Amino acid sequence: MTGQPLSRREFLKQAARYGVILGGGGIALSHPSWLLDLLNPGLNAAALLNDLAKEAPRARFWISTAMPNPDCLGCHTPDEIAAEKTHAHEQAIVKCLLCAQGCMIKQGERGKCRARMNVKGELRSLVYGRPITIHVDPIEKKPFYHFLPGANAYSLATAGCPLACKFCQNWEISQARPEDYPVDYVAPQAVANAAASRNAPIIAFTYNEPTVFAEYLLDIARAARPQNIRSVLVSCGFMNAEPLTEMCEALDAIKIDLKGFSDDFYRDVAGAALKPVLRSIKQAAKSAAHLEIVNLVVPTLNDSEEMLTGLAEWVMGELGPDVPIHFTRFHPDYQLPNLPPTPVATLERARAIALQKGIHYPYVGNVPGHPGNNTYCPGCGSVIIRRSGFFVLEMQLKKGRCSFCNHPIAGVWA
């Protein structure tokens, strides 16, 4: 040892080695920048961001005042334009069109998700090729209960999220900045190859909000399909229609959180809005991709009779009976450490309301061993998939039909 600070490249190589050792069940590709700072004070977040921004590829889904003939209505209301017939911008401002936050981003600044930056008038993705965590999980963990039951999903995330849910269970990465977890570049083809080498038939984009790495996930899904690897998205559904159209074509399944059936809840607890999520769910339901919905039931915040009934009626009315819906248990985390875990009786009530409204496949989630983990045939009522939490114990399905009464069961089974 010379006592000299390591170069950034050399240091990250060593950090990656620690990552494999420290990563436990999965592969932690990086460590937060505070740990890097502690181990090597020569590195700091500003320098890491500078490096990232220089290497970051141009993003898609944005407009800018610097574009030829910019459409002022992309950013301003007709009233604003009428009040000021001509207006100039001192510098190129970008409007990101990837999600419903619609961030207007000045040069050198980032959007709410922290993953996209205006670099000299061009929007760049700071998270393209930068997965910070990779695990191989059962597909039931996402959760998908009607998509290749029991299959392994090669699951990855970057930093960043457009939302700020007070109950986030992955806040360490969703609320992080890309420079908080520095990693080397991983090409889309390398992700597809890694999934194949682990015999994972599915790649899952999950943990943070994958919309923030839309360009990367689309490229990964397109690289994986020729290898017969399916790709799935685990999302809050806050993306805009155009990127979702591409996702529905490139992906095989989409799980969308319907966090609560109230705009106030979305605004106060998630920093978002209900309407764009409902729009995304309807769009995904009309596509060829398989769809499932999750409602994390948080005590006192979204567990009222009115909200649970409104949600079930909307799902039944807009999507019909066959979209699986998971009522999952909240555990105290992040900014809501003082709320109790969701009582099991509340989840059972939510499931009963959904069944009463005619939904065929409502589940109780995050309560391993509960009878609400199982899939019941809507035709004869028999248990056709018996589960305990993330694990499939028994399947009574033949070519997508109930083994007992031959009733078709919605889903992707092979």
Q: Which span (106-114, 220-228, 274-282, 405-413) binds ligand SF4, by CB under 6 A? A: 106-114
Candidates 42, 70, 74, 102; binder of ligand SF4 (CB under 6 A) is 102
User: Taking contact as CB under 6 A, which single stretch among the options 95-103, 145-153, 330-338, 355-363 is the one that binds ligand SF4?
Assistant: 95-103
Q: Which stretch binds ligand SF4 (CB under 6 A): 68-76, 109-117, 130-138, 283-291?
A: 109-117
Q: Which stretch binds ligand SF4 (CB under 6 A): 2-10, 107-115, 330-338, 344-352?
A: 107-115
Binding mask 146-185 toward ligand SF4 (x if CB under 6 A, else -) reads ----------------x-----------------------
* Interface positions, 207-226, toward ligand SF4 (CB under 6 A): 212
118 makes contact with ligand SF4 (CB under 6 A): no
Cβ nearer to ligand SF4, comparing 102 with 321:
102
Rule CB under 6 A: is residue 19 a binding residue for ligand SF4? no
Of positions 64, 65, 101, 174, contacts ligand SF4 by CB under 6 A = 101
Query: Which value, to the nearest 10 degrees, does the dihedral of the CA atoms of residues 404, 315, 277, 205 take?
Result: -10
Residue 299, interface with ligand SF4 (CB under 6 A)? no
Shortest distance in whole angstroms from residue 132 CB to ligand SF4 = 17
Binding test (CB under 6 A) with ligand SF4, winner from 36, 75, 96, 139:
96
Told to check if 332 binds ligand SF4 by CB under 6 A, we report: no
Q: Where does residue 198 rank: exposed (0-12), middle (13-18), buried (19+ CB within 10 A)?
A: exposed
19-27, 105-113, 183-191, 298-306 -> range binding ligand SF4 (CB under 6 A)? 105-113
What is the binding site for ligand SF4 (CB under 6 A)?
96, 98-99, 101-103, 111-113, 115-116, 162, 212
